[in-house]
Amino acid sequence: MSDTTPQRIGDYEIIRELGHGGMGKVFLVRNVLSDRVEAMKIILPDLAARSEFVSRFTREIKTLASLDHPNIAALRTAFTAGDQFVMVMEYVDGVTLADRLQHGPLPVADAVNYTSQVLAALSYAHARRVIHRDIKPGNMMLTPQGLVKLMDFGLARSTEEVGLTATGATLGSLDYASPEQVQSLATDERSDLYSVGVSLYQMVTGQRMFSATSSFSIMQAQVRETPRQPIEIVPALPQGLNDVIMKAVAKDPAQRYQTADVFRDALASYSAGNSVAQATPTSIPSTLGGPLSPAVTPGVMTPTPIQPGSPFNRSLLLVVGVVLVAALVAGDAVYKAHQQRLQNTSPASPATTASATATSTQANASVPASSESANAQVQAPPPVPSDAPSHESSPQSAPASHNPAAHTPNPVPQGPSEAELQAQQAALDQKRLLDAMENEIDQLDGRAESVESGVGAIEQQMHQDGLGLRGDVVTARSNMRNDLAKAKQALDAGDAERSRHYLDLAHHEIEKLEKFLGRR
């Protein structure tokens, strides 16, 4: 947990961060009154002042409050704490299917089981006129018991809210978005079913349906390209399941399954008529929702353990013994040589050391022309009689200096006070900060111009192809312009804190647009 993370919000003690996204952060929390562990979602402070994000967050709260299903993560409560919007949800202990798919495709039986649970949740939500609009493996949480919980209703809307899509509402993840979502057309329950089909496609193949990298190319693929049939990627996949998936991802909504129940019935009919357990692709062992077993990873060589008494083991021991003996002999020789040098070197007497120091001082003062003349000045002192006083006796006082100025100290000039020095340093730091922020604005201006040009070119091409620019891209472009303008105004006024706030917002929007252009 970072230093900026609060330790407690209301009656909830924050334990650690679970994850974060473009809109908020999710924390693992404990209610100090009930001791129940739950999940808390907080909207990012930088976005709390923007009405569109607040509206989306409150809409998610109201949507979850209307749903109660075993395959949907439940809402516990919601409240505001200062300027923060807080939502407390059921904590689901498990992993997302997106994380699970990083280890390869799922066994067919598991993929069919998990998809059927998601369809059960959607059947319940659709019956209450709620469309999720962001179905993907990353929003499907899998518990160790094999239960799937559908999460993140942040983009969900009621079927009565027709205007949201038409006004350019933010779309879901493009890899799983339906063609009508990509084209900013009206969407209904069948868009969710398309996204379920794309997710099932990835579960059984281990690959995304389209391998395009940029947002624009993915959008074009969703509208125009026919995906490879899953059975072409996994030949062992049953033809019946292949046909179910291809029907679910039809471009025309009228050619897809019309309801979640029909889709689920098709999977049940396929399962009843086929032995799906025998059609599991060769990937990793079935876990049926449990933690991954430490199976041998395909393609990774496992070292063979050396058996005691083998010829290789005896040879290794012989080599180690020879090396140890050689090291001992070498160490003994080094030690004896060191002792011999210590015996041949006699330490200098204190008197000799003192004389040499004095002579060295004189030599430094006269700076001889050659090393021979310098050596000539160093004379061995006569031996000190045993009855002579020790050099440790108190030396006589040195004569006083003849410099009259030494007895008349100069007055110490009075410098600026500590408060004045602090004020000068603060002014210097402020100037440096403003200069650095001015340079940062110049750099962001350059990136913004490049992004504007790229988005404009794509917008023209999309209009020619009959596509509409994504609503979130339009919003990001507008926010980027406004944030940069406000950052410049604050900088001109010398308000570094306010300028920093809008610079961070502009940077966030520019990154979003660069990702759309495939530059990140």
Lowest mean pLDDT among 239-243, 345-349, 408-412: 345-349
56 and 134 share one domain: no
Domain with 494 in it: what CATH number? 1.20.1270
Residues pairing with 241 in the sheet: none
CB 211 within 8 A of CB 222: no
pLDDT class for 332, splitting at 50, 70, 90?
low
- The answer as to whether 438 is a domain residue is yes
Helices and strands per DSSP (H, E), number in the chain? 16, 11
161 and 40 share one domain: no
pLDDT class for 462, splitting at 50, 70, 90?
confident
Q: What is the mean pLDDT of residues 6-13?
A: 88
**Nearest 5°: CA angle at 505, between 57 and 445?**
150
Give the pLDDT confidence score for residue 324 in this predicted structure. Answer: 57
79 and 185 share one domain: no
Which of 129, 256, 245 lies closest to 190 in space, CA to CA?
256
Boundary-marking domain end, from 89, 120, 143 = 89
Per the confidence metrics, is the pTM higher than 0.85?
no
120 and 64 share one domain: no
How many Å separate Cα 453 from the centre of its chain?
29
pLDDT class for 266, splitting at 50, 70, 90?
very high
- Cα gap 517→451, rounded to integer Å: 8
Q: What is the mean pLDDT of residues 267-295?
A: 53
* Structural domain boundaries, residue 475: 426-516
- Cα gap 196→121, rounded to integer Å: 12
pLDDT class for 173, splitting at 50, 70, 90?
confident
165 and 242 share one domain: yes
Q: What is the mean pLDDT of residues 147-166?
A: 67
Computed over every residue of the chain, the mean pLDDT equals 76
pLDDT at 399 over 70: no
| Catalytic annotation, residues | 134
Positive or negative torsion for Cα 8, 14, 17, 21: negative
- Identify which has the larger pLDDT, 402 or 206: 206
Q: Which amino acid is at 227?
A: P
Q: What is the mean pLDDT of residues 140-165?
A: 76
99 and 62 share one domain: no
Element holding 164 (H helix, E strand) = helix 163-166
- Between the two ends of the chain, the Cα-to-Cα distance in Å is 27
- Identify which has the larger pLDDT, 149 or 394: 149
Tokens of 199: 């997710």
CB 295 within 8 A of CB 282: no
Q: What is the count of structural domains for the chain?
A: 3
- The answer as to whether 361 is a domain residue is no
100 and 247 share one domain: yes
- The answer as to whether 299 is a domain residue is no
- Cα gap 438→503, rounded to integer Å: 10
- Identify which has the larger pLDDT, 263 or 518: 263
Give the pLDDT confidence score for residue 350 in this predicted structure. Answer: 43
List pLDDT tens digits, range 86-136: 999 999 999 999 999 999 999 999 999 999 999 999 999 999 999 998 999
Residues ≥6 apart with Cβ < 8 Å to 418: none
222 and 269 share one domain: yes
pLDDT at 66 over 60: yes
Lowest mean pLDDT among 149-158, 194-203, 417-426: 149-158
Question: Please, how many CA atoms are within 13 Å of residue 200, restricted to the half-sphere of its CB?
Answer: 33
Residue with tokens 């990835």: 202
* Orientation angle between helical segments 418-464 and 471-492, nearest 10 degrees: 150
- Identify which has the larger pLDDT, 219 or 508: 219
71 and 104 share one domain: no
Boundary-marking domain end, from 89, 115, 140 = 89
- The answer as to whether 208 is a domain residue is yes
175 and 273 share one domain: yes
- The answer as to whether 401 is a domain residue is no
Task: Specify the DSSP class assigned to residue 309.
Answer: T
Q: Where are the beta strands (DSSP E) in 371-516?
A: none
Boundary-marking domain end, from 89, 113, 142 = 89
Q: Which amino acid is at 474?
A: V
Domain with 140 in it: what CATH number? 1.10.510.10
CB 482 within 8 A of CB 178: no
Report the DSSP pairing between strands 157-158 and 12-20: unpaired
- The answer as to whether 343 is a domain residue is no
Lowest mean pLDDT among 332-341, 471-480, 483-492, 508-517: 332-341
pLDDT class for 338, splitting at 50, 70, 90?
low
- The answer as to whether 324 is a domain residue is no
Q: What is the CA radius of gyration of the chain?
A: 39
pLDDT at 321 over 90: no
Residues ≥6 apart with Cβ < 8 Å to 167: 471
- The answer as to whether 204 is a domain residue is yes
- Identify which has the larger pLDDT, 405 or 183: 183
pLDDT at 162 over 60: no
48 and 147 share one domain: no
Q: What is the mean pLDDT of residues 238-247?
A: 96
CB atoms under 10 Å from CB of 130, counted, come to 22
Lowest mean pLDDT among 25-34, 141-150, 298-307, 409-418: 298-307
Range ranked top by mean pLDDT from 42-56, 169-183, 312-326: 169-183
Q: Which amino acid is at 64?
A: L
101 and 211 share one domain: yes
Residue with tokens 């291809």: 246
